[in-house]
Amino acid sequence: MRPGIGAISAAAAVIFMAGACGGSNGTTGSNTPTPTPTAAPNVLAKAETVAGQSMTILVDSRGMTVYRWSTDTGANKGKINCVGGCAAVWPPFVLTGGAASPVAGSGVTGTLSTLPNPDGKGTQILYNGWPLYFYAKDQAPGDTTGQGVGGKWFVVPPDQAANA
């Protein structure tokens, strides 16, 4: 059963806060509150979903599904290949809010890295070497309508193998 928008949003918020706090009490030595990072959209979290089957996938802090493109491997590895018209349908998952790096939520154990987006859209987030994208037709948290599109676009599970 697919969780509701509120459940995903609440879970993502809890995961973000746990990752952002890092076990501190949120204050500095002068009892001045530590500023809350503005990087919430850069958090990768896990969510249970139904994409033809029940599975755990990666989502951003809003609960929006992220995808990988099978073309971003082999000779194309280490590059962002979905640009121009492709990126209009598959927008890149980029750093926002002045964040220097993405944040992994609870249970997200893969390697996060970044590359400059060749279309000038910012710094794109990679998971285990795979550039991450959204699907323009996904309208609400938990949507997975991009799964299997063209036999090349796939949701990203937390145990996604490294890009070879």
pLDDT tens-place string over residues 55-64: 889 999 888 9
pLDDT tens-place string over residues 38-72: 344 567 777 775 555 678 899 998 889 999 999 99
pLDDT tens-place string over residues 82-106: 999 999 999 999 998 888 889 898 8
pTM over 0.75, yes/no? no
Residue 60, exposed/middle/buried by CB under 10 A (0-12, 13-18, 19+)? buried
Judge whether residue 138 has pLDDT over 90.
yes
- The DSSP line for 74-132 is GGGTTS----THHHHHS-B-B--TT-SS-EE-TT--S-EEEEE-TTSS-EEEEETTEE-
Instruction: Compute the distance between CA of residue 164 and CA of residue 63 in angstroms, rounded to an integer.
Output: 27
DSSP assignment, residue 8? H
Q: Where are the domains of the chain?
A: 5-26+38-155
With a pLDDT cut of 90, the percent of the chain lying above it is 51
Residue 86 phi, psi (nearest 5): -60, -45
